[in-house]
Amino acid sequence: MTDHTLTRNALIDVVGIEKNFGDAKGDALPVLDGIDLHIAENEIVALLGRSGSGKSTLLRILAGLIPASSGTVEVDGKPLTGPNPGAAMVFQSFALMPWLTVQENVELGLAARGVDRPERRDRALRAIDTIGLDGFESAYPRELSGGMRQRVGFARALVRQPDLLLMDEPFSALDVLTAENLRNEITELWTAGTFPAKSVCIVTHNIEEAVLLADRVVVLGSKPGRIIHEARIPMPRPRDRSAPAFEALVDELYGTLTGRDKVLEDALPAADATPVSRPLPNATVGGMAGLVEILASKGGSADLPELAAELTFEIDDLMPLVDAAALLGFVTVDGNDLDISAAGRDFAAVPLTEAKVVFAAQAAERAPLVRTIVRALRVNDRHCLRLSFFRDLLRRGFADDDADRQLRTAVDWGRYAELYDYDADSDQLRLDPDVARG
């Protein structure tokens, strides 16, 4: 078993990693840019970031499951050119073979490596016992709860006694109590020096989870993913959520994740931003309106971490709503502080019919894709265009799925604002007659 008091040595070094994926037209879409990361023995590193920051892509590069587009990855001082032999991975989706028993699932990786049956059995049973599944060796995945299935995933990874355990949001598919219990058990194993891996790298979007588990938190910004902050967690385990030092670190990380990238923020004013340079956040009008109304009911100001905790939201739940409200000028964000604007007060206070007018004015001016659609429909003689026209334009800057999501959001916002309508049968966007006359 691992002694976590040993002098730390490098397990993996990442230098200058970039990763691009091709879109339907063959253009390169940057996902990671200039990533430098060092993971040492005897530490837990958390990769923290919002959706689209490339966390999972980076984890798969560390595992050797996908290659980087450029840069170097070294394991024990040697270039990684294929699957990382010293790494094992735990996935969010459990990824168990339903026709195999717990023990057979745990043995699967050992069998693929040619380990003989008696040793496979002994190692699998030890891993099953370590992770708290003793007595369920002959059960099938369908007989297990979500938490127990994830324990099988942990046992299957840990049976290899890897140098580096990679975990891709391993608790996000579990209910709150089950996730907390499993986190606590892993912390106990690590603290006791009985965790069968030298180091851990965990991807998460949950700030408290990162501070609870990690020795070091690496924060990635988005589009493309870049390391924008790193925080060391000096507190001994187990950690008290109510401790001032814990709360200060959570606030620090919230501030980093909610802060604006000044390069992007200052590059273009709202009136000149394009649908690619300033995408629409993945937020519905109803969700955005709810956030603005809650803020208005609180006197117009709120602390983001406190608001998220009060609403029992994770950051990925709350931030698209915050980003959307900020894009439309309904709120302003300064670090962890959220403040309602005059337009936001109007939007929250007036009746629904008038709220649509307020929303339409803000969206047509400040939401680049909505503005582009309105302008294009206005200059067309029939004031209508196929949605696929805008989809083709967006694919120059977005992957297909992201382009479709942008259009779904723009259609949702435009319909609510009564700026334009969409007919799915004909794939046509049509400008509202009152807007066309205006």
Write down the pLDDT at residue 264.
37
CB 325 within 8 Å of CB 382 = no
Spatial distance between the Cα atoms of 102 and 125, rounded to a whole number of angstroms: 10
Looking at residue 9, the DSSP 8-state letter turns out to be -
Q: Which CATH class is domain 285-437?
A: mainly alpha
Local structure of 317: helix, strand or coil: helix
Inter-CA distances, 308 with 70, 213, 245, 304, 415, Å: 38, 20, 19, 6, 29
Token couple for 39? 């993971």
**For the chain, where do the domains classified as CATH 3.40.50.300 start and end?**
10-257
Handedness of CA 106, 109, 112, 114 (dihedral sign): negative
> What is the fold, at CATH topology level, of the domain defined by 10-257?
Rossmann fold (3.40.50)
Spatial distance between the Cα atoms of 165 and 105, rounded to a whole number of angstroms: 18
CB atoms within 10 A of CB 394: 24
Spatial distance between the Cα atoms of 227 and 177, rounded to a whole number of angstroms: 31
Local structure of 383: helix, strand or coil: coil
Per-residue pLDDT of the chain (438 residues; tens, 9 = 90+): 444 433 356 689 999 999 987 655 556 678 899 999 999 999 999 999 877 788 889 999 999 999 999 999 998 888 888 889 889 888 877 678 889 898 888 888 788 788 888 888 898 898 888 888 888 888 898 988 888 888 888 888 888 888 999 999 888 777 777 888 888 888 988 998 888 889 999 998 888 899 999 999 999 988 788 999 999 999 998 899 889 999 889 888 888 887 643 333 434 455 667 887 788 988 999 999 999 999 999 999 988 878 887 887 766 678 889 989 999 999 998 877 889 999 999 999 988 889 999 999 999 999 999 999 999 999 988 999 999 999 988 877 777 777 898 999 999 999 999 999 999 899 999 998 887 776
Spatial distance between the Cα atoms of 285 and 355, rounded to a whole number of angstroms: 11
Local structure of 192: helix, strand or coil: coil
Spatial distance between the Cα atoms of 364 and 431, rounded to a whole number of angstroms: 12
Spatial distance between the Cα atoms of 61 and 68, rounded to a whole number of angstroms: 6
Write down the pLDDT at residue 306.
81
Ramachandran bin of 42, using left for φ above 0, alpha for ψ from -120 to 50, beta for the remaining angles: left
Spatial distance between the Cα atoms of 340 and 346, rounded to a whole number of angstroms: 10
Write down the pLDDT at residue 265.
40
Inter-CA distances, 95 with 30, 159, 168, 189, 241, Å: 28, 16, 12, 23, 31
Write down the pLDDT at residue 4.
41
Between CA 177 and CA 185, with CA 179 as vertex, the angle to 5 degrees is 105
Burial, 288: exposed, middle or buried (Cβ in 10 Å; 0-12, 13-18, 19+)? buried
For residue 142, which of 98, 105, 107 has the smallest C-alpha distance? 98
Residues 6 or more apart whose Cβ sits within 8 Å of residue 36: 14, 15, 16, 17, 227
**For the chain, where do the domains classified as CATH 1.10.10 start and end?**
285-437
Helix (H) or strand (E) run with residue 337 in it: strand 337-340
Token couple for 275? 């649908």
Q: What is the pTM of this model?
A: 0.72
